[in-house]
Structure 1
Amino acid sequence: MTAETMPTRLVGQAIKRREDPQLITGQGSFLDDIKLPGMTHACVLRSPYAHAKIKSIDTSKAKAHPGVVAVFTGEDMLDLNPLPCAWQAGRVKNNVNTPRVLAVGEVHFAGDPVALVIAEDRYIARDACDLIEVEYEPLPVVVDAKKATEPGAPQLHENAPNNIVMEWDAGDKAKADAAIAAAEVVVREQIINQRLIPTPMETRGAIARYEQATGEFTLWTTSQAPHVMRLLLTAFVFGIPETKLRVISPNVGGGFGQKIFCYNDMAFTMWAARKIGRPVKFVEDRSENYKYSTHGRDHITDVEIAGTRDGAITGLRVTTYANLGAYLSTIAPGIPTTLYGRIITGVYRIPAAYVKVYGVYTNTAMVDAYRGAGRPEASYLIERMVDRFAAEIGMDPAEVRRKNFIPPDAFPYDNGMGLLPYDSGNYEAALNKALDIIGYANFRKEQEEARKHGRYLGLGISSYVEICGVAPSKWIGLPGEGWGAGLWESANVRIHLTGKVVVTTGSLPHGQGVETTFAQIVADELGVPYDDVVIEHSDTAGTPFGYGTYGSRSLAVGGTAVYRSVAKIKEKAKKLAAHMLEANPDDMVYENGRVYVKGSPDRAKTLAEIALQASVAYDLPEGMEPFLDETSYYDPPNCTFPFGTHIAIVEVDPDTGIVDLKRYVAVDDCGNVINPLIVDGQIHGGIAQGVAQALYERAVYDENGQLVSGTLMDYAVPAAHMLPPFETDRTVTPSPVNPMGVKGAGEAGTIASAQAVMNAVIDALSPFGVKHMQMPATPENVWKAIRAAQTAS
């Protein structure tokens, strides 16, 4: 984009992502594209049992196989500490159980790593794995979170009686109990938020190289948080100085949360590279990704909502069993607590609410953040129950929402659940716009007429709020609340002597368009050509420490760090320009890449001229350092709280149970928008993932702990033709938290969409007496729900 074609102001413009040409032409560099001299390949032998003692491991045949470099077991790696759990949510005390790099003595889920083969290529390594002989003693298995806490259930870890990782609560139990006891109407339901598998296009992996002369590692890994991985691997797993590891994230083909965490392959490739003196590469196949890498959701919840006959919600009481899998992943306990339990009241002013969460070990893969991370579960819960409450009192679901919304003049709003206050909101405006787009009144007439002819249409509303930009040290850094450290973000901005701008950031892209939006901000604020701004990221050797990209925090936290660094650059430029023009620094104005004397726009210096002067440095103001180079570490005072309303229309065939998603409208409010094209793309992707949960996807374990949905033949990821065109719009309520007024958009579609679709399905089935059903609304499940309701009546 040249100066001649660049818009006057870039912020707010729908500019195509600068990252895309490289990626869509096949010129990206992903992990599996990397080849190093002398590189070896690793393959992991994984347990076929969900729970068993390891009696013995015989690796002799594998070691003798041609092309095998080495074979290791967990006993060889006892010098490494188990992988860390960074976010323990305050109530996890002495029952933390995290995975060892390779299992020692016992396995706790099907897929637990047992042995490691290093060979000259991946095929030899795979063949050699099959030659390892392991004697197991199978043990009893439990895969259901609620059943795992019952007396007599199989026990996974001695230090966690009844398999309970933690008991956590929020809100006011006495008030909630009293509100429910006194209510005119109480609706009770069990809601299951089924387990999901993230399914990124690129599976995970790691490549490690060790330099014996310096004792330094370089690790290439598919990570959303390279600086965090460097810290966890050095300080907690290896016990070496952080300066001895460089972590690089190459192009990442989809993350969705699964690539935030510290995994065993990061550690064993490093350990093995040091042991054999050659680089070691490991890349999962799809089956391994499904069996071992983290899953999402998996809640069993009993919920009660109370209110009056005229539609006022007076109380909410929730008990959730959150399946965390066989071990704790890096931030697993924080998802069903801080990011779920504290936001269960959603967009509603509910005077009495209480949530109790049991985190539970089971013989399944670890469960951690998946797009939305706790907020989709919370939003699904409250939005389904608001619909159930509306149906119970015979009131229009849109009107129940209006009656209970937090009003605009109540912000900042404390929801009573120990959350930081909601920063801003105008929920009714988003609802009204969505209803107008969908043609709500006309639809209800069409729906009534269609039912007369045996067609069953349904409309579902989802009004949501989410918490984004999870960062503030004063909250998320508190021991007992978060993970004992704030999640601030960093950025460095440098203006080279030619006037070109280089930004290095602790944030990084894996689909969010970070390079594009950050360049738009910098180009606008500095008044330089967009193409003159370079964004560097993803390498701990070249960027300031940052906590990475997840939780829709890149723009609100990382982008604000960039904005603040640019502001520092502008202030220094004004002082230097004043010196160059022999003027008073207080009289200088920075505008469109020029600094001029107030009232005399012809007395000016361009940023390029100022940058050159700062670089050659022979004539600077007394005490000024050379070069235009500024760094910011931004620790926001609060999170941001995007919101919106999504509406789905479906048609259900009662004879076959097939659900046809006919229309989908999304009205979102993510504050001020930097690039509407990127926002729409993020919303589209998020909706697809939420619709998939509502209608198609479910990870299923059998009673023996075997993942029966462990391939793409068995796990129903939707194709494009299964989704309608998404109709998107927005309202704009700027956030007061940061100077740009931005919030977040990356997870909104997922947080809002599952319940919009399920509410529509239930609405379509209401003539049959169906009041509730569990996700996914597959043809079989829909057909069974209809028959069960008919039988009950």
Structure 2
Amino acid sequence: MPKDHGIGASSKRREDVRFLTGEGNYTDDINIAGQTYVHFLRSDVAHGTITNIDSSAAEAMDGVLRVFTAKDFEAVGGIPCGWQVTDKFGEPMQEPKHPVLAEGKVRYVGDPIAAVVAETPELARDAAEAIVVDIDELPAVVDMKAALTDGATKVHDDLTSNLCYDWGFVEENKAAVDDAIANAAHVTTLELVNNRLVANPMEPRVAIGDYSRGTDDYTLYTTSQNPHVIRLLMGAFVLGIPEHKLRVVAPDVGGGFGTKIFHYAEEAFVTFAAKAVNRPVKWTSSRSEAFISDAHGRDHVTKIELALDKDNNFTALRCETYANMGAYLSTFAPSVPTWLHGTLLAGNYTTPLVYTNVKAVFTNTVPVDAYRGAGRPEATFQLERVVDKAARELGVDPTELRRQNFIKPDQFPYDTPVAVTYDTGNYHATLDKALEMSDYANFDKRVAESKSRGKLRGLGVAHFIEACGIAPSNLVGQLGARAGLYESATVRVNATGSISVLTGSHSHGQGHETTFPQVIAEMIGIDESQIDIVHGDTSKTPMGMGTYGSRSIAVGGSAMVRAAEKVINKAKKIAAHLMEASEADIELADGQFTVAGTDKSVAWGDVTLAAYVPHNYPLEDIEPGLEETAFYDPSNFTYPSGAYFCEVEVDPETGEVDVLGFTAADDFGTVINPMIVEGQVHGGVAQGIGQALLENCSYDDNGQLLSGSYMDYAMPRASDLPSFDVDHSCQTPCTHNPLGVKGCGEAGAIGSPPALVNGVIDALHRGGYPVEHINMPLSPSRVWEAIQSMK
């Protein structure tokens, strides 16, 4: 019978009450007395030298407080990169300065050149349009391979080339991989593109800077997934503000998908400008501005080769990837195609040898960074596409080829050849569940029915594994991370027994205010309504690393458990004193402390009151109060996995793809709130289908963004999606965190693109069109052209 509270219950999201009634408090809802507004003048050319900026007309306009250019920021640092990658030769990556406003050159369409602070947004915009900027346009480099040729235009004149790094992993495997592929019974090769995407969260970015001249304190309100990291990066490395003088607040955030992890120039600008004009400064991005100022995602070009022996066992995998960094290094950009990508190339399989080479390239485009899944979708897409192609070349069932090469349940913990150890998993169970849910056995009947209507039906299969809760800090530090990746929590018990949990994690739609109380309520045995979650304000919460990479429950939740355990241990001491019993005999369940084997008990609320009104209290042993803090640094990643089936129908006359059904059988370890988990999978699958079918960020040869608005960038709509069939009953709990959880936020976006593309290719083959690959998005024109090429 389903639980009605605590861990495993589908408790309704308490935050939805304010969201659905218009009572949310988003950054753009915040307005401060005396507030001014900034408009950024952005480059309309992708590459060029700034020869002159004439802002005199703008400065003379009524209501304009000040016009800022790069010269105003000569004394501050550039926007820092949070991860340094060392290449295969032992050399650090090339790391150009990323100025707040363009210095000397513009390097992509959208690069901010000047900023106008004025009394109203309209005045700021009008004044920005009055600024005259002279730019000597230079050739733009957009294509990654062309960017690395001899004589290519350099994005940064002070670098040796456009190559950020040339990374090999695992380098010691290279010779063995090359030999295995040269001598394999069969080798499947595939060249593919992981298309560039724009995250497009519901809420565009907003930043408000405020400065108190009386106290010399700064406050930044911003749409961020990790306010503490913004405070650290901006305070220490850009503006030189001591952390105790800088408060960063991220209130309700309307979606992020990775794009709100990073520290952006606009945040540094409004904080700096607030002091310069001695008034609050607000910036609200327009949707069109977001297309050219928010970090983009994906954008990999890959060649992958899979070697098999005569019995169809995988023997080696080799891939070469070009990864676009854009014009500058965004906060975590270097880690995405390396440590978040290369370490997942083993997938669910026992392939003994894996080698990958990644060339990260600077181009005259918007910077690229983590987007939902961050490296894991890219690895899964290339791996699951090449496995599917191998099955077709060998004439075997794609599900059986996968099953044959799966890591078996009795092989865990499993050391992969790409330097990570999977602690638990059961890939056979999720495959069997997906086969059952999708009615795989009767698929041929559905193929015949589609054929009777002149349509081609296909079924795509994909399996995935992802690494969540990036850790531990001492390891990621060796890999180039410039921050710790722990999480923190303070459990503050009030005198009457209610609890405030202060967490370094931050919600941008995941339901933390619902799920986190479920965990604490389960531990203590009180009602979830008695527990409040405080997050998003660096002045209130302990130093934390924020929310991304499906880390909130695995890392943030584990920190809460550790802090709650400290609270409970102290509370047991108080209860033992109140009942004149031994602490070792005290048990806590259902909100009651009892002496084991007796009917003696005392309520949770009585113990908490005693902690704050210590009239009868063991003062000689412990101090009053009931509040504890814990920092949790995981010993390993967590490894969610799943089997995804996508059933499609293709119209051979038009190339239109109709997604008829989607099955997701996931292993997320322990599930805290099944309803929220299901919603996370739904959202991820929708985004993955969007990438596979519709979304594409496209530049022309001059670096102009051709898909810079919703007129040209196609987002998935309800009519593009089927009802999803989701299951998470195949649970193998994580062995190294106290909750056994693994993370669920990115799974859908990881497994769905290859499942859909595999389904379309399957449909075409069944219809007599032996197309081997179509690059995403699978628009009707691309599919139609592929069909025509086979006639």
Q: TM-score range by the shorter chain?
A: over 0.9
- Superposition pairs for residues 23-422 of structure 1, below 5 Å? 23-91=19-87, 93=92, 95-171=94-170, 172-419=173-420, 421-422=421-422
**Are 1:619 and 2:619 counterparts?**
no
Counterpart amino acid of residue 735 in structure 2: P
CA distance in 1, matches of 2:564, 2:647: 46
Aligned to 1:430, the other structure's residue is in SS state: helix
Contact 1:42/1:122, CA 8 A, preserved across alignment: yes
Contact 1:222/1:249, CA 8 A, preserved across alignment: yes
Q: Please give the per-residue CA displacement for 1:652-698, whole angstroms capped at 9, x wherever unaligned.
A: 01110000000101111100100000000000000000000110000
CA distance in 2, matches of 1:663, 1:209: 50
**Which segments of 5 or more consecutive residues in structure 1 lack a partner in the other structure?**
1-5
Counterpart amino acid of residue 606 in structure 2: E
Aligned to 1:162, the other structure's residue is in SS state: coil
CA distance in 2, matches of 1:467, 1:511: 21
Aligned to 1:458: 458
Counterpart amino acid of residue 237 in structure 1: V
- Superposition pairs for residues 541-556 of structure 1, below 5 Å? 541-556=539-554
The alpha carbon displacement at 1:309 in A equals 4.2
The alpha carbon displacement at 1:323 in A equals 0.3
TM-score by length of 1: 0.97
The alpha carbon displacement at 1:316 in A equals 0.8
Q: Please give the per-residue CA displacement for 1:719-766, whole angstroms capped at 9, x wherever unaligned.
A: 112111001012111110111111100000001100000000000111
CA distance in 1, matches of 2:734, 2:3: 25
Aligned to 1:487, the other structure's residue is in SS state: coil
Aligned to 1:607: 604
**Are 1:751 and 2:750 counterparts?**
yes
CA distance in 2, matches of 1:513, 1:8: 17
CA distance in 2, matches of 1:624, 1:41: 52
CA distance in 2, matches of 1:14, 1:453: 42
Counterpart amino acid of residue 692 in structure 2: A
Shift of the 690–94 alpha-carbon distance from structure 1 to 2, 3 Å rule, reads closer
Aligned to 2:180, the other structure's residue is in SS state: helix
Q: Please give the per-residue CA displacement for 1:327-362, whole angstroms capped at 9, x wherever unaligned.
A: 000010000000001111211110111000011000
CA distance in 2, matches of 1:471, 1:217: 32
Task: Please provide the CA RMSD for this pair.
Answer: 1.3
CA distance in 2, matches of 1:9, 1:746: 22
Aligned to 1:90, the other structure's residue is in SS state: coil
CA distance in 1, matches of 2:206, 2:351: 45
| Equivalent residue in structure 1 for 2:536, among 535, 538, 561 | 538
Aligned to 1:636, the other structure's residue is in SS state: coil
Between the two proteins, the alignment pairs up a number of residues equal to: 781
Aligned to 2:785: 784
CA distance in 2, matches of 1:636, 1:750: 24
Contact 2:43/2:106, CA 8 A, preserved across alignment: yes
Aligned to 2:126, the other structure's residue is in SS state: helix
The alpha carbon displacement at 1:625 in A equals 1.2
Aligned to 2:733: 734
Counterpart amino acid of residue 285 in structure 1: S
Contact 2:64/2:127, CA 8 A, preserved across alignment: yes
Aligned to 2:446: 446
The alpha carbon displacement at 1:520 in A equals 0.6
- Superposition pairs for residues 464-613 of structure 1, below 5 Å? 464-478=464-478, 481-600=479-598, 602-613=599-610
TM-score by length of 2: 0.97
**Which segments of 5 or more consecutive residues in structure 2 lack a partner in the other structure?**
none
Counterpart amino acid of residue 235 in structure 1: A
Aligned to 2:8: 12
Contact 1:696/1:777, CA 8 A, preserved across alignment: yes
Q: Please give the per-residue CA displacement for 1:334-392, whole angstroms capped at 9, x wherever unaligned.
A: 00000001111211110111000011000000000000000000000100000011011
CA distance in 2, matches of 1:9, 1:269: 44
CA distance in 1, matches of 2:492, 2:594: 21
Aligned to 1:3: none
Q: Please give the per-residue CA displacement for 1:383-431, whole angstroms capped at 9, x wherever unaligned.
A: 0000011011111100000011011111121211123x11211001101
CA distance in 2, matches of 1:535, 1:401: 43
Q: Please give the per-residue CA displacement for 1:407-458, whole angstroms capped at 9, x wherever unaligned.
A: 1111121211123x11211001101110111111210343256447642100
The worse-fitting range, judged by mean Cα deviation, of 615-624 and 324-333 is 615-624
The alpha carbon displacement at 1:485 in A equals 3.4
Shift of the 490–141 alpha-carbon distance from structure 1 to 2, 3 Å rule, reads same
Q: Please give the per-residue CA displacement for 1:701-722, whole angstroms capped at 9, x wherever unaligned.
A: 0011000100011100011121
Counterpart amino acid of residue 82 in structure 2: A
User: Percent same amino acid at aligned positions?
Assistant: 49
